[in-house]
Amino acid sequence: MMNTPPASRGAPPGAASGRILVIDDSDLMLQRIDAALTAAGFEVITTNQTVGAARHLRSCDLAIVDFHMPGLDGATVLKSLKNAAASSGAQCMFLLYTSDETMAARFAEHGFDGALSQKGNIAVLVPQVHALLRVMRMRALKLRR
């Protein structure tokens, strides 16, 4: 499943902005995340395919990666994505998405920039993404000064 929203899907006034790639093996989870983040004003690309997902990194601010996927784990997917990001010059932040609190606490060991540990709780996901992208923008502004 790949969902790239059309350009006509604009954010409501005052909404957040940012482009987010979500990789998860569950189509239902991808649909829920897409609906919630799109309604919050984000542009969302979802996929259940790990191969080829890296092509979206150059235009994304954030990549949310499920850790437990059939055949691969999130750390393996992340390694591939980070290699692609480095070679393309992408400035994307990578977040682990899991309901496994132990795994979430070990996000840095796997190379993730952070973790969203309440997988499936959309009410928590949206404010966390808002806050993270706000902090990323503030840091970028500070670096430009």
Query: Comparing 1 with 122, which gets the higher pLDDT?
Result: 122
What does the domain layout of the chain look like in residue ranges? 16-144
Compute the distance between CA of residue 145 and CA of residue 140 in angstroms, rounded to an integer: 9
* pLDDT value at 4 more than 70: no
The label of the residue with tokens 């093996």 reads 25
Task: Quickly state the pLDDT bin for 6 (edges 50, 70, 90).
Answer: very low
Contact yes or no for 44/34 (Cβ under 8 A): yes
Quote the percentage of the chain above a pLDDT of 90: 43
Domain 16-144: homologous superfamily in CATH? Response regulator (3.40.50.2300)
Task: Quickly state the pLDDT bin for 2 (edges 50, 70, 90).
Answer: very low
* pLDDT value at 23 more than 70: yes
Q: What is the DSSP letter of 1?
A: -
Return the pLDDT at 103: 87
* pLDDT value at 10 more than 60: no
Instruction: Report if pTM > 0.85.
Output: no
Return the pLDDT at 14: 43
Task: For residue range 59-85, list pLDDT tens digits in order.
Answer: 899 999 998 888 878 888 888 889 888
- Rounded to the nearest 5°, which phi and psi values hold at 69? -125, 150
Return the pLDDT at 21: 95
Quote the percentage of the chain above a pLDDT of 70: 86
Per-position DSSP letters for 91-103, written without gaps between them = --EEEEE-S-HHH
